[in-house]
Amino acid sequence: MNSENEIKTIAWIGTGVMGRAMADHLLKAGFQLRIFTRTRAKAEPLLQSGAAWADAPADAAAGADAVISIVGDPKDVRETYFGANGVLSLERPPSLLIDMTTSEPSLAIEIADAARAKGAGSLDAPVSGGDVGARNATLSIMVGGAPDDFERALPMFRAMGRTILHQGDPGAGQHTKMVNQILIATGMIGVCEGLIYAQRAGLDPLRVIESVSTGAAGSWSVSHLGPRMIARDFEPGFYVEHFVKDLGIAVAEAERMGLDLPGLTLGRALYRRVEKAGGGRKGTQALFTALEELAASTSDSA
């Protein structure tokens, strides 16, 4: 058995668009992984690289030094930790539980309290950077939890990300991710509208991006997702349906704090429009299609 502070074996839960690449970085960094995900086929590349398979979160976690989860939504997080075969069904869970899903701050606090009752630490550590950041190990990792647990997790975080900051107590990582999603939602509206304007004005949109991306209007979204919009490449780096979930959490948290955030409300409404049109499994850059339709309908009625 490893000493209390040494992490060698990780139970990894979830191998979606980002999770598989993140787990692969940990394997390459020398960590031993036990994988559970709902669709085993998604884990096959990791299994071929040396990871072991487990049939449930509890099976993956039994005897492991740490758990890292990155699943779909708060319901999946709750099942991962509190379900009948969840991590916290173990009498002795791993000494460090890390949820990297974008989820509810209140659920992060609940997991931290339950983990503490069983002698374990817990971190909420959602990420930003999409599929590109996951593949390149350049994610931004926003962390809530005890400082000692954060220090223990740093070797794992450094294998997956570049900007790694402790934001405060349990739930602080999730609150920081809500800030991130609010910024993205409102910023993406501007990116889409700017490029629609460029097209209507007869400009070369890619050349416009080249000009504006290095000035005050520059952003990750315009540099990385703008060209995808122009190419009509709506393959997911981050699913629309997951972003709608995130914005729903942000709206609920804002309401709980007595905040009226009209940009957030508009962003959520527009992304829900994409989802209702069948774009839930497209990338967030598919917002471009919804704003194209709105722009065209306005033009037709003028």
Q: What is the pLDDT of residue 300?
A: 63
Bin 277: left if φ > 0, else alpha if -120 < ψ < 50, else beta: alpha
Q: What is the pLDDT of residue 84?
A: 97
Q: What is the pLDDT of residue 5?
A: 74
Q: Sign of dihedral through CA atoms 28, 34, 36, 40?
A: positive
Alpha helices in the chain (DSSP H): 19-28, 40-48, 57-61, 74-82, 105-117, 130-136, 147-160, 172-200, 205-212, 220, 226-230, 240-256, 262-274, 287-301
**SS3 of 283, please?**
strand
How is residue 244 written in tokens? 């709608």
Active site residue 177: yes
Domain annotation for the chain: domains and CATH numbers: 9-169 (3.40.50.720), 176-301 (1.10.1040.10)
CA distance 151 to 103: 22
Q: What is the pLDDT of residue 297?
A: 79
CA distance 176 to 49: 33
**Residue of 28, 75, 177, 276 marked catalytic:** 177
- Within the chain, what is the greatest distance between any pair of CA atoms? 72
Quick check: 80 and 71 in contact, CB under 8 A? yes
Quick check: 182 and 246 in contact, CB under 8 A? no
How is residue 41 written in tokens? 């086929």
Burial group, residue 121, by CB count within 10 angstroms (0-12, 13-18, 19+): buried
Q: What is the pLDDT of residue 2?
A: 44
Residue 34 backbone phi and psi in degrees, to 5: -115, 120
Burial group, residue 238, by CB count within 10 angstroms (0-12, 13-18, 19+): buried
Quick check: 35 and 54 in contact, CB under 8 A? yes
pTM: 0.92
CA distance 92 to 110: 18
Per-residue pLDDT of the chain (302 residues; tens, 9 = 90+): 345 578 999 999 999 889 999 999 999 999 999 999 999 999 999 999 999 999 999 999 999 999 999 999 999 999 999 999 999 999 999 999 999 999 999 999 999 999 999 999 999 999 998 888 999 999 999 999 999 999 999 999 999 999 999 999 999 999 999 999 999 999 999 999 999 999 999 999 999 999 999 999 999 999 999 999 999 999 998 899 999 999 999 999 999 999 999 999 999 999 999 999 999 999 999 999 999 999 987 666 65
CA distance 279 to 285: 10
